[in-house]
C-alpha cells in the first residue's frame, strides 16, 4: 500500500511525496488507520521505524478536516516528549507534513526564555509539542488552555518516567478533557509504563513491531575488548580510518564527554559534545552542525539516545557501555535508520563484562567480537598522536631495550 492510497488530504500526500515518503513503514501501516478512526493506541516499536510520522500524519489530517468545517480554535493535539531535542524534532516533522494545510504546530521546552513561546502560543496553535516541565509551568501560569485537546500523545513515555516526569504528567492530565484520544509510542515498555498507559487509555489498539528483536536488522553489531585507558586511541584510529564517516559516540557522563573531546583535540580531530551542562541554544546548534555533516564526530551522553533522527550516521560507538541495558537499543538506533545500513561498535573493558552480558541477554543474542591481535592492539597505542598515551610506548621501548641489553650481555 502507498501513501497515495490512504484517505488523507491531498496536501499531506503532496508533502509526503516531496519528502520521498512513498510507502508506510510497519508501524505507520499498523497505526495510521486506528488513529484516523479515533481509537486509542499503545504502540511499541524499535527506534528508527518512523513512529513520529505514524501519529503526525493522521493527527494533521483530522485537524485539517475539522478546521474546514469551522471548528473552534484552540490546541487540538498535545504531544509530550522527554527531551528538548526530541521536542524540536517532533515539531519539525509536524511542520513539514502540515505545509499548506492550515494546521499550525509549535514546540515549547525549558531552559530558554518563555516569553517568545508565550507569544507563539497566543498567535494560535493547533498542535503543541512540549517537555512536561515547561508545559506544566505555562499551564499553571494560565498561558496554555488544554480544554479543547482531542488527542494526547506521549512519546518515549518510559524515558519520561525515568527522568522523573511522572508527577508533571499526572498533574497535567486533570487539565485535559476526559473524552479524548490517547496515543502511546515507545521503543521499550516496562511494568511502570504499562500501568501508566492503561490508566490513561480506553480499550487501546496494541501494536508491537519486531518484538523478538528490539533493534533494527540493518545494524551490524560488534564489540571490541579494550581497556578503559586505551579507548581514546582506538577511537582515534576508527576516525582516522573512516575520515568521511559520521560517527556518534556515547559516553556515560558529561565529564567523560569533555575528556574524550580533549583527547581528540590533542590528536587534531575535530569533535563536538552534547550533554545536560550545555545551554539549549548550543545543543541545538551542535546537533544541527552534526546533522549537516559540518562536524563528523559527536560525543554525547544518553541525552541524544532517544528518538533523535540524525541522517546518515555511519557508526555508533558505545565508548562506555550503558548501565541501563534498554539504552543500548536507543543508542544504536541512531544508525541504520529506515533502509540505511549502520554499524554499532562497543568498546568493552574488563570492568564492563557484566554490563555486556546483560545487554546480550536483553538482545537475546551474542554480539560479534571484533578480534584485535595483541600486536595490532599494541600498535594502536604506540602510534597514537595523543601525548598522554605515549608514555606507555616509552616504557615499553625502555623495557625492550633493557631486555636486548641483558640478552647481549649474556652472550
Please state, in angstroms and rounded to a whole number, the distance separating the CA atoms of residues 329 and 271: 24
Domains of the chain: 3-209 (3.40.50.300), 219-393 (3.40.50.300)
Q: Do residues 115 and 41 touch, judged by C-beta distance below 8 A?
A: no
Check residue 221 and give its pLDDT. Answer: 94
**DSSP H or E run through 108:** strand 105-108
**C-alpha grid cell for residue 53?**
510520522
pLDDT by residue (tens digit) across 271-324? 999 988 888 788 889 988 999 999 999 999 987 666 567 888 999 999 999 988
DSSP E strand stretches across 194-300: 205-209, 219-225, 247-250, 272-274, 297-300
pLDDT band for position 399 (cuts 50, 70, 90): low
Q: What strands lie across the sheet with 297-300, from one edge to the other?
A: 272-274, 297-300, 247-250, 315-318, 342-348, 219-225, 368-369
Segment 43-97, tens digit of pLDDT: 987 666 788 999 999 999 999 999 887 776 899 999 999 888 889 989 999 999 9
Considering the entire predicted model, what is its pTM? 0.73
Integer CA distances (angstroms), 217 to 47, 52, 345, in order: 12, 20, 15
Residue 220: phi, psi to the nearest 5?
-95, 120
Neighbours of 227 (CB within 10 A): 14
Bridge partners for 63 per DSSP:
none
Q: Is 43 helix (H, G, I), strand (E, B) or coil?
A: strand
| Cα 336 from Cα 48, distance rounded (Å) | 8
Q: For the CA atoms of the chain, what is the radius of gyration?
A: 24
Amino acid at each position: 500500500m502507498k501513501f497515495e492510497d490512504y484517505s488523507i488530504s491531498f496536501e499531506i500526500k503532496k508533502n509526503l511525496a516531496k519528502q520521498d515518503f512513498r510507502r508506510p513503514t510497519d508501524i505507520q501501516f499498523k497505526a495510521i488507520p486506528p488513529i484516523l478512526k479515533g481509537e486509542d493506541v499503545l504502540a511499541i516499536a524499535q527506534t528508527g521505524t518512523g513512529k513520529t510520522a505514524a501519529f503526525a500524519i493522521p493527527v494533521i489530517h483530522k485537524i485539517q478536516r475539522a478546521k474546514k468545517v469551522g471548528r473552534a480554535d484552540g490546541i487540538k493535539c498535545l504531544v509530550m516528549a522527554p527531551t528538548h531535542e526530541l521536542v524540536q524534532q517532533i515539531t519539525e516533522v509536524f511542520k513539514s507534513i502540515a505545509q499548506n494545510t492550515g494546521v499550525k504546530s509549535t514546540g515549547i521546552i525549558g531552559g530558554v526564555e518563555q516569553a517568545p513561546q508565550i507569544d507563539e502560543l497566543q498567535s494560535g496553535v493547533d498542535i503543541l509539542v512540549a517537555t512536561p516541565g515547561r508545559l506544566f509551568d505555562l499551564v499553571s501560569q494560565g498561558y496554555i488552555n488544554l480544554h479543547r485537546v482531542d488527542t494526547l500523545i506521549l512519546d518515549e513515555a518510559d524515558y519520561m518516567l525515568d527522568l522523573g516526569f511522572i508527577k508533571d504528567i499526572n498533574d497535567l492530565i486533570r487539565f485535559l478533557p476526559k473524552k479524548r484520544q490517547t496515543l502511546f509510542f515507545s521503543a521499550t515498555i516496562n511494568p511502570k509504563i504499562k500501568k501508566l498507559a492503561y490508566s490513561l487509555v480506553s480499550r487501546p489498539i496494541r501494536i508491537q513491531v519486531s518484538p523478538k528483536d528490539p533493534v533494527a536488522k540493518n545494524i551490524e553489531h560488534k564489540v571490541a575488548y579494550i581497556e578503559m585507558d586505551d579507548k581514546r586511541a582506538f577511537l582515534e584510529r576508527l576516525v582516522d580510518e573512516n575520515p568521511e564517516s559520521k560517527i556518534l559516540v556515547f559516553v556515560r557522563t558529561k565529564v567523560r564527554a569533555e575528556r574524550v573531546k580533549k583527547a581528540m583535540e590533542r590528536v587534531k580531530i575535530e569533535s563536538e559534545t552534547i550533554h545536560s551542562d550545555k545551554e539549549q541554544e548550543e545543543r541545538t546548534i551542535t546537533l544541527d552542525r552534526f546533522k549537516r555533516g559540518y562536524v563528523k564526530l559527536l560525543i554525547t551522553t544518553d541525552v541524544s539516545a532517544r528518538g533523535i533522527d540524525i541522517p546518515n550516521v555511519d557508526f555508533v560507538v558505545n565508548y562506555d557501555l550503558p548501565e541501563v541495558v534498554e539504552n543500548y537499543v536507543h543508542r544504536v538506533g541512531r544508525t541504520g535508520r529506515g533502509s540505511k545500513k549502520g554499524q554499532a561498535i562497543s568498546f568493552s573493558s574488563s570492568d564492563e563484562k557484566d554490563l555486556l552480558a546483560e545487554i546480550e541477554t536483553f538482545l537475546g543474542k551474542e554480539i560479534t567480537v571484533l578480534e584485535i591481535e595483541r600486536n595490532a592492539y599494541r600498535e594502536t597505542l604506540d602510534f597514537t598522536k595523543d601525548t598522554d598515551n605515549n608514555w606507555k610506548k616509552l616504557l615499553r621501548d625502555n623495557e625492550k631495550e633493557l631486555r636486548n641489553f641483558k640478552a647481549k650481555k649474556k652472550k
